[in-house]
Amino acid sequence: MLRDLSLEVGAGEIFGLIGPSGSGKSTTIHLCCGHLRPSGGSVTVLGQDPARFSARTRRRIGYMPQGFVLFPDLTVQQNLAFVAGLYGMSEWRCRAEIRRTLELVELWDARAARGAGGLGGMQRRIALAAALVHDPDLLFVDEPTANLDPILRAKLWAHFRGLRERGRTLLVTTQYVDEAEYCDRVGLMYGGALIATGRPASLRHQAFGGDIVDITVERPSRQYVATVRGLAGVRDTETGENETLRVTVEDAQRAIPLLLDALEASGATIRTVAQYQPTFDEVFIRLIEQHGDPRPALGQLQTSAA
């Protein structure tokens, strides 16, 4: 169940919906595709109510569901030919696009294999190819990189960015939080609500209250907390193990020279200074905690190694 969802995806952007299982990502896509009707409010896609899409509008949309819904008794190539026919593609164009798309998902050599015989990763690739084969203007893809190896995941995201450069619009859901970096904007869903949205860098800033600078000094860092705490632009200061001083600032590029001058004036010997980039695991867990639930664990969101 979704709660007070308000979402706008602009033309020519990649918008990523990221969150744990059961957070409402797939339900959102079903609403956008017209598979579900909202109990309140409204949904508009390409200027139309999804429940009343014209045939022409549906041909402009590509949809990849989580489950494998193609024909298991058909070969990989036959599945794509069937889908291409549904989109009204001519036979000559169909052949060229099928090969191009199967090569993208690395299934051209397996084109004669039956869909039922493939493992989960192969079936996901068939489903993605079916969503891409007609070169849609708008693409809804639900967990497109699940069960795929890192090399193919990177290849597909490069293709998604290429589509965006050609003016295509993509709404992508994923549990792989590192994939947020590939999106123009990101929405974090949790418990059926969209609890944060923005560009990846702005979400980092929102989660931690600013930029983070790590400084190591020769003496225990706690001796220098008072030195930097009162500086302009400093929002928070904490000490790590031994010589590490972590400072949250409004803007790292402006703050670093001020921090170094103040520390050196206080007699500190500085070993290293660097801006720290929190992982999106850290960002999303922090945002969920700020939303009022202190319980989320990293296991609910997947990294590329999961």
Percent of the chain with pLDDT over 70: 93
Q: What is the pLDDT of residue 292?
A: 75
pLDDT for res 293:
63
Task: Tell me the per-residue pLDDT of 131-150, one tens digit each, with 9 for 90 and over.
Answer: 999 999 999 999 999 888 89
pLDDT at 196: 93
Q: What is the pLDDT of residue 119?
A: 64
Summarize the confidence of residues 211-225 as an average pLDDT: 89
Angle CA(282)–CA(145)–CA(115) in degrees, nearest 5? Answer: 155
The arithmetic mean of pLDDT across residues 68-82, rounded, is: 88
pLDDT over 80 (residue 120) = no
Domain range annotation of the chain: 14-203, 210-276
Structure tokens belonging to residue 270: 């500085």
pLDDT given at position 83: 92
- Do domains 14-203 and 210-276 share one topology? The answer is no
* Phi, psi angle pair for 275, to nearest 5°: -75, 130
pLDDT tens, position by position, 59-73: 999 999 988 778 888
Contacts of 41 (CB under 8 A, 6+ apart): 5
> Which pLDDT score, from 0 to 100, does residue 305 have?
35
Give the CATH class of 210-276.
alpha beta
pTM reported for the whole predicted model: 0.85
Cα within 13 Å of Cα(306), Cβ side: 16
- CA atoms of 49 and 17, how far apart (whole Å): 21
Q: Is it true that domain 14-203 has CATH number 3.40.640.10?
A: no
Reported as a pLDDT band with limits 50, 70 and 90, residue 306 is very low
Tokens describing residue 163:
């589509």
- Average pLDDT of the chain is 89
CA distances from 30 to 95, 141, 184, 273 (A): 30, 11, 22, 47
- Average of per-residue pLDDT across 40-61: 93
The DSSP bridge partners found for residue 244 are 216
Q: Which three-class secondary structure state does DSSP give residue 270? A: strand
Give tens-digit pLDDT for 240-281.
Answer: 776 889 999 999 999 999 999 999 999 999 999 999 999 888
Least Cα distance to 63 among 149, 156, 143 occurs for 143
304 band by pLDDT with thresholds 50, 70 and 90 = very low
Nearest to 170 by CA among 274, 64, 294, 23: 64
